[in-house]
Amino acid sequence: MRIAFDASVLQAPRTGVGEYTLQLGQALQQLPEMELCLFDGLGWPDTFPQTPRSGYGRTSRLIKALLPGAYPARRALMQLRFNQGIRRLKPELYHQPTLWPLEFDGPTVMTLHDLTHVHYPETQPRDRLREIERRLPASLQRASRILVDSRFIAEEAIQHYSLPADKLQVAPLGAAPRFHPRDEHELQECLTSFGVGMRSYYLCVGTLEPRKNLKLAVGAYLGLPKSLRERMPLVIVGGAGWRQEQLEYIPARELSSGRIRLLGYQSGECVAQLLAGAHALLFPSRYEGFGLPVLEALASATPVIACDHAAVPEVAGDAALYADAEDSDGYRTQMLRLIEDSELQERLRQGGLERSRQFSWERCARITTDTYKAARYS
């Protein structure tokens, strides 16, 4: 089956949706019945881009600042280049793995990862939000099938957009091979470069934006005894989101002392090593359609302390510790439990590994392939 597969999101620095696009696409390419025609937003390359386009963020910000209506203009150009390739390649089906599809005269599958634009519209650029609100409802109605990452998002989509249940298919994500348990020797160079030791730091991973609820993790951490904070820093990895969350709630003394460390955006391999070496992943997000860093931590045998909201419990099950997204004291209690109870640490590490084996990109690709077939013959 020849599939037009939109990989244009990989031109930008890779976050969760980019990781989904790359890992799913590569897993699909391993299936003998699949032939992917990759569209990168401007052309049709033979392989997936492994790194973002040089200067993408700077160029994108400049275009948006200088060109009113940049999103519609960019979409029009993408549609033109897309049409040119479609006429030449003649795919049987089109999959848009990010948000809203381009126009295609044939079966279309799209992936709806979450409804962030509904619950947290302030995290979207205004012109992008207008485009989502204008295009997404019609795209969902027009799509032959809709993939979602979790049952939680399927239920939200059915309720909010009045979609028939049989139009949606849950295809849980996987963890890339780089997320696996590692010993101290393997991690020594990475950990030394950041001045931390094996299992001696807390880690937060995610784009810096309000829905990630970083303030909860920071507040809980600041409530720990100072002696504990001095030997267990809080390391925060993540690039700036739209209207980057202001971090005034982090005291300057914590930053200057190194007890809280902001590393900014890091490469995928660096994140994998930091996850494998952490005492725990703190994942306080208020809203997730899946929560990929949680699964990646479980696959790395790293305990997770998360909020009991949205899709995260669906992913982690009983292999994580939970607290309410508004309860800093409850979150701190879970952090102290994990510090004080070595048996709990080991149970979560082993339980996380077992839980992570229920998820894989191969499984996601198989479900996606079945969805393609259903869309093609519906």
Distance CA(105)–CA(101), nearest Å, equals 12
CA dihedral (263, 25, 8, 117) positive or negative: negative
pLDDT value of residue 53: 65
pLDDT value of residue 126: 80
Structure tokens at 371: 């969805």
pLDDT value of residue 77: 92
- Torsion, Cα 42 43 44 46, to 10 degrees, reads -100
Distance CA(191)–CA(294), nearest Å, equals 20
Q: Which of 176, 152, 179, 180 lies closest to 312, judged by CA?
A: 152
Res. 378 pLDDT band, cuts 50 70 90: confident
Q: Which CATH number fits domain 2-174+360-377: 2.40.40.20, 3.40.50.300, 3.40.50.2000, 3.40.50.2300?
A: 3.40.50.2000
pLDDT value of residue 373: 96
Give the residue extent of every domain in the chain: 2-174+360-377, 184-356
Q: Which of 99, 95, 176, 112 lies closest to 150, judged by CA?
A: 112
pLDDT value of residue 129: 83
The angle, 0 to 180 degrees and rounded to 10, between the axes of the packed helices 268-277 and 184-193 is 110
Phi, psi of 311, deg, nearest 5: -90, -10
Q: Does residue 170 surpass a pLDDT of 60?
A: yes
Pairing of strands 321-323, 304-307: parallel
> How many Å is the maximal CA-CA distance in the chain?
66
Res. 68 pLDDT band, cuts 50 70 90: low
Pairing of strands 2-6, 304-307: unpaired
Alpha-carbon Rg for the chain in angstroms = 21
Q: Do the beta carbons of residue 180 and residue 364 sit within 8 Å?
A: no
Res. 241 pLDDT band, cuts 50 70 90: low
Distance CA(167)–CA(20), nearest Å, equals 21
HSE-up of residue 114 (Cα within 13 Å, Cβ side): 18
Q: Does residue 62 surpass a pLDDT of 60?
A: no
For the chain, the distance separating the N- and C-terminal CA atoms, rounded to the nearest angstrom, is 15
Average pLDDT, the chain: 91
2-174+360-377 and 184-356 share one fold? yes
SS3 content of the chain, % helix, strand, coil (to 5): 50, 15, 35
Q: What percent of the chain has pLDDT over 90?
A: 77
Say whether 324 sits in a helix, a strand or coil: coil
Q: Which CATH number fits domain 184-356: 1.10.760.10, 3.40.50.2000, 3.40.50.920, 3.40.50.20?
A: 3.40.50.2000
